Amino acid sequence: MPDYHDDLRLGHVLADAADSTTMERFKALDLKVETKPDMTPVSEADKAAEELIRGSLQRARPRDAVLGEEFGSEGSGPRRWVIDPIDGTKNYVRGVPVWATLIALMERGEGGDRPVVGVVSAPALGRRWWAAEGLGAYTGRSLSSASRLAVSKVNSLSDASLAYSSLSGWEERGKLNGFLDLTRACWRTRGYGDFWPYMMVAEGSVDICAEPELSLWDMAANAVIVQEAGGRFTGLDGVPGPNSGDAAASNGLLHGAMLDYLRSS
C-alpha cells in the first residue's frame, strides 16, 4: 500500500497557510465579495487562499494536477489535488464561524479516481480533521496532538441523528418528500450544513447526512475522512466515493435505510 505520510504532512502545511489567509480577512469590514455566474458568492479570501495553495503545490508537487473551485483545473496525471478554499463562503461573508478549507489528494486506480488524503481545517471553530488511506482519521491541533475518529454504532433510524444543509435543494430535485420522510423516521435532525455534518459523522456525534447537489471539491476531503473513520460515503446512487454529484454519509449501519428514503420522490 502506498505511504501517504508525506502528502498528509503537506496537506497540513497547506491548511496552516490557508488558515492564516482566511482568518486575517474574516469579519473584515472592507472584505470584497463578488457574485459568480452560478449566483453564489466568492470573496477575496477564497481567491487568495486558493492561489496560495496552488503556488505551494507548484513548488512541492510540480507533477501533480490541481482542481480548485475558484480557478478550475490545471495539469494532468494520476495524482490530483482538489481544493475548496472556503467551504461555506456564505457563512464566511456573514461572520458565521462555520466554514473550512478542504484539501484532498485523489489518485487514479482501476476503479477510477479516489480520495487518498483529506484535510478539513475550520480555524474560526478552532478545529481540524484529517485522514489518509490506510492510516485512519483524526482530529486535533496537529499531527502529533490528535485523537482518532470513529463513527457511531447506532443501528436504527429511530435512534439516529441526521444532519443536512437545506430543504430547497431537495425540493428543486423533486426529492423533498423522501427527504422529509427520512427526517420523520429519525430521532433528531439539525441543519448544520456544509462540511460540518460529514466531520460529525466521522466523530460519531451525528449518524447520517446527505446533500442533493455538490461538486467534487465539496466532497473529496470529506469522503476519505468518513471512510477512514469506519463510515460509508457514497452518492445517492450508492456508488462509493465523491464522484456522483451528490452525497450520503453514514456510520455504515444506516446507509441502506437512508438511501431507500432518499431515492424515493
**DSSP-assigned letter for residue 203:** H
Check: CB of residue 74 under 8 Å from CB of residue 59: no
State which H helix or E strand residue 13 sits in.
Answer: helix 5-25
Q: Is 46 annotated as a binding residue?
A: no
Angstrom distance (rounded) from CA 150 to CA 110: 28
Q: Which residues pair with 73 in a beta bridge?
A: 67
- CA dihedral sign of residues 265, 168, 191, 188: negative
Q: Looking up cell 490545471, which residue turns up?
A: 74
Query: Is residue 86 a known part of a binding site?
Result: yes
Query: Which strand (E) or helix (H) includes residue 213?
Result: none
Cα–Cα distance for residue pair 100/167, rounded to 1 Å: 22
181 annotated to a ligand binding site: no
Reduced to 3 states (helix: H, G, I; strand: E, B; else coil), residue 103 is strand
What is the SS3 assignment for 155? coil
- How many C-beta neighbours within 10 Å does residue 112 have? 10
Query: What end-to-end distance do the CA atoms of the chain give, in Å?
Result: 42
Binding site, annotated residues: 69, 84, 86-87, 218
Binding site, annotated residues for Mg(2+): 69, 84, 86-87, 218
